[in-house]
Amino acid sequence: MSLSAARRTTPQPAAAPSERIASLDVLRGVAILGTLATNIWIFTDPGGFLGYLAEDTASTTPAGWAGVEAVLQQLSQGKFLGLLSLVFGIGLEIQRRSALRAGRRWPGRYPVRAALLFLDGVVHYLLVVEFDVLMGYAVTGAVVAYVLATSERAQRTWMVAAAAVHVLLLGLVTAALTAVPAQPAPGVVEPNPYADGSWWDLVLLRVDDALLFRFEPVFIQASSVALFLLGAWLLRAGVLGPDGVGLRRRLLVVGALALPVDLALGVFGGTAGLVLARYGTAPLVALGLLALVVEVVGRRERLGAGGRRLAEVGRTALSSYVLQNVVASALCYGWGLGLAARLDPAVRVPATVALYALVAAVVVVSAHLWLRRSSRGPVEWLWHASYRALTRDR
């Protein structure tokens, strides 16, 4: 379909009011700090990501704390990944609308943006953490950018088809996990590269085990396409605007109904239940979370101190995401302070909560101080400068 036809068939709503753009910044901030709430348990696992995948703390965590850990992990598990995907889709639609209003073709130069994000992801994956999401988002964004140039009907078809593929894959994986008898936790891998290895040893580990570490972005590719497109549709439907009250209420109902199911699956369903919750019910909870944040922000004439700090993290989302992983790595891994291996199993759960609060505080304060003298985060500035140099966009 031609670009002119896409313009005729795709509604072009008015730009969202400034206070609703503020809600988008808050949503980004919530999503970024929410991903840390999931990943902090990986950092404090004495076996690192490999130990986390093998559930190597199951036999050493005291019974009383084990239940607390299960609930805390499940409260964040997958929800903020889903929220981040929805917000990314909203951002893509905002960029598309901005390009068309300026008379530029879409997706135009967006593939350059996606390539730079992919490069950021490669660097982040190799040098910082093996559970990076940027590479996967770059690939999904490039695909969805072209889909957004088609008609509403074509976009709905893509969204439904992608969701169906994901549900099929998720069903197959869940069935396979259900059929396989539960295995006892194998314990910490020895030698343990996270506790005893150098920073370079972890880089080599990520190279050697790239197929294992990059499995999730491939597995959720269809889901990400669907969520990106859903986020774009929600923006066009007015979810951030004053006329979106009814839509937000429906999303709140969806999230409220999905949350208890999600918690039950994750806490009591074993490995199969955890997978089904993270990739199945968690995105539904994320829809409710999105609506809740927009409602709370929209009912205020101005953001309070907490809202402003979250919005600042959202404005520096890429920098904040990288910073929180660097700080947590330095605190927990052997090349830094090595706290993960030194923590007594009896206090690992409360210590993990304390470390989350510490890292989140560092991120929030850093975003606040940086934005007092710059309009972009450092990684965003480097990314933007690279984009301008590559496209000669002055």
Query: How do residues 303-330 score in pLDDT, each as one tens digit?
Result: 899 999 999 999 999 999 999 999 999 9
Helix axis angle, 282-298 to 221-236, nearest 10°: 30
In a domain, 1, yes or no: no
Q: What confidence category does residue 186 fall into, taking pLDDT thresholds of 50, 70 and 90? A: low
In a domain, 4, yes or no: no
Among 238, 249, 244, 282, smallest CA distance to 263 is for 282
Helix ranges (H only) for 209-316 are: 210-213, 215-219, 221-236, 245-268, 270-276, 282-298, 305-315
Q: What is the pLDDT of residues 70-128, one digit of tens each?
A: 999 999 999 999 999 999 999 999 999 999 999 999 999 999 999 999 999 999 999 99
Whether residue 356 is predicted with pLDDT greater than 50 in this model: the reply is yes
In a domain, 170, yes or no: yes
In a domain, 292, yes or no: yes
**C-alpha–C-alpha distance, residues 137 and 319, integer Å:** 16
In a domain, 11, yes or no: no
Q: What is the pLDDT of residues 213-241, one digit of tens each?
A: 999 999 999 999 999 999 999 999 999 99
Residue range of the domain that includes 274: 22-391
Comparing 193 with 183, which gets the higher pLDDT? 193
- Cα-trace Rg, the chain: 21
How many domains does the chain fold into?
1
Give the per-residue pLDDT at 369: 97
In a domain, 218, yes or no: yes
In a domain, 5, yes or no: no
In a domain, 341, yes or no: yes
